[in-house]
Amino acid sequence: MSQYKMWIDGKWVEAESGKTYPVYNPATGEVIAQLPLGGVTDVDKAVVAARKAFPIWSKKSQADRSAIAMKIAAMLRDNARELGKLDTLDHGSPAQRAAFLPTASSLNFEWAAYNCRSLMGHTIPSTSEDLIYLQREPIGVIAIITPWNVPLMMVVEKLAPALTLGNTCIIKPPSIDSLEALKFAEMLDTLGLPPGTVNVITGPGGIVGDALSSHRGIDMVAFTGSCEVGKAIMSSASQTVKRLQLELGGKNPVIVLDDADVDAAAAEAVGNQYKNCGQICASPGRFYIHEKVYDQFLEKMLAGAKKFVWGDPNDMKTQMGPLVSAEHRDRVEGYIKSGIEQGAKLLLGGKRPTTAPLNKGYYLPPTIFTGVTQQMKIAREEIFGPVACIMEKFNSDEQVLAWANDNTYGLAAYVWTGDTARGMRFANNLQAGTVRINAGHGGGPELPWGGYKESGLGKEGSLYGLYEYSNLKRVQVDLAVKK
């Protein structure tokens, strides 16, 4: 069993409390590591270090910072295999996918390296005796608080623009799968960054995350996670009016119209629903299927779900491993129980395995409910598990649009149709930050990501995402000749 330390002010340190906590392998339930139990004092140390580093790091030229970002991108690719093994070990990602994620993450640093060098100021026409221009500057010290569902990628998506633009950062990785973040810190430690430029503190969000979001020395909080925690961060951050970037999940509708390619829609639905055990904010939350193609779609999705290979994440044939923790598995099982009690029909799965070796891990099989109605708990709340909710049949565009928008979330939506113009009309009326027509989840750092309503604030990715990590300053100069 490995013992780890935190990275603060360019040094590897124990928690001030001297305490540690265990990390479990979700595939076996075994303890695999002990991590420092960070607390308020550790946050104070990291803030002091980050504030000391900020004037040094922010004054480097953008060319120098971009060059370092390119080195980080290369390191992520070079260490993809080792990082992937850690992802399988403490998160349960299938080995066939785990090594791909660090390589995909490297694109965020490459994109930031190029585009931070391209951010341009603007002049604003006024009078012949005035010069008014706008410039972008780093914000300061940014707390990056990330979720457990894609542990390394979530860190990198926020750190790449924040760091490359000149901010210093304190990373609070997810407590249950922090190993990749700590390995990433080891890689950063070889670059000769000013001490305190990046810090990593492990520990529970209720202590470390709250201390960061309420700390007067933190200028911005970038967070991905649950809506409940996001609201708590907003409340804490409001005391010092911090900048916030929040991505808070979704209950994403998938709409299959009567003229859709049902084969393609069902195949995409299976992959999107069960990839990463459904632990992705863009995963389908509700399937709305037109009554004319309902039976056909359900037959094909059921067949695809039965063929989806789940089990040991170390097996290269496995497409879906365990849920991330016993606690989260219990939470998903609570939703399954609620669906049954409220009258939905459990068509497939729903029960954890009882035979060895899978009975020792945090597994649930691909699960499908039918007959789900708008007011059921499983239709209203984000399950974040391998559970597909097939809603009541619909027979009109107006009806399904109303149902799809009837939710507190507005992150993403999917529309399947053979009529592109019809699909675009849906896109114009759906309350979601991203609408995909005849396409599943996918993207890259050049594309904005962020939702409407309680799905969060601000954007990640694209130039809009870069702007989130900078301040906009107006400078005005009087050019008039003085007599």
State whether 423 and 348 are in the same domain. Answer: yes
Show the low-confidence residues of the chain (pLDDT under 50): none
CB-side neighbour CA atoms (13 Å) of 161: 26
Of 428, 369, 372, residue with least CA distance to 397: 428
What residues make up the domain containing 73? 2-248+455-473
Evaluate whether residue 460 is within a structural domain: yes
Give me the residues paired with residue 34 across strands.
Answer: 3, 22
Tell me if 480 is assigned to some domain.
no
Residue 129 lies in a domain: yes
Asked whether residue 450 is assigned to any structural domain, the reply reads no
Show the DSSP H helices in 283-325 as ranges: 294-307
Indicate if 82 and 158 belong to the same structural domain.
Answer: yes
Query: Residue 164's pLDDT is what?
Result: 98
**How many residues would you count in the chain?**
483
Name the strand (E) or helix (H) holding 403: helix 397-405
Give me the CATH number covering residue 321.
Answer: 3.40.309.10
DSSP H or E stretch at residue 432: none
Number of domains in the chain: 2
**Pair 229, 268 in one domain:** no
Element containing residue 286 per DSSP (H, E): strand 284-289
Strand order in the sheet with 412-416: 345-348, 367-372, 387-391, 284-289, 252-256, 412-416, 434-437
> How far is it, in rounded angstroms, from Cα 339 to Cα 293?
24
User: Residue 483 falls within a domain, yes or no?
Assistant: no
- Prior bond to 357 cis, omega within 30? yes
- 423 φψ region: left (φ > 0), alpha (ψ -120 to 50), beta (else): alpha
User: Does a structural domain hold residue 46?
Assistant: yes
Whole-number Å distance between alpha carbons of 266 and 284: 12
Q: Are residues 364 and 243 in the same domain?
A: no
Task: List the Cα angle 141/143/148 in 5-degree steps.
Answer: 155
Question: Do 243 and 257 belong together in one domain?
Answer: no
- Residue 1 has a pLDDT of 64
**CATH of residue 186:** 3.40.605.10
Same domain, yes or no: 384 and 460: no
Query: Is 479 a domain residue?
Result: no
Residues 468 and 342 in one domain: no
Instruction: Please list the active-site residues.
Output: 247, 281
**401 plus 297 within the same structural domain:** yes
Supply the pLDDT for residue 119: 87
Q: Classify the phi-psi angles of 186: left when phi > 0, otherwise alpha if psi is within -120 to 50, otherwise beta.
A: alpha
Same domain flag for 140 and 266: no
Identity of the residue numbered 201: I
Q: Does 340 lie in the same domain as 241?
A: no
Residues 262 and 404 in one domain: yes
Alpha-helix residue ranges (DSSP H) falling in 91-206: 95-98, 100-116, 151-164, 179-188
335 and 220 in a single domain? The answer is no
Structure tokens that stand for 279 in this block:
């632990």
Is 404 contained in some domain? Answer: yes
In angstroms, the Cα distances linking 139 to 198, 253, 452, 466 are: 15, 36, 25, 12
Count CB-CB contacts under 10 A for residue 421: 7
pLDDT digits (tens, 9 = 90+) for 126-151: 888 899 999 999 999 999 999 999 99
- Could you give the angle at which helices 62-78 and 100-116 cross, rounded to 10 degrees? 170
**168 in helix, strand or coil?**
strand
Strand order across the beta sheet in which 456-457 lies: 11-13, 6-8, 198-200, 168-172, 141-145, 220-224, 243-247, 456-457
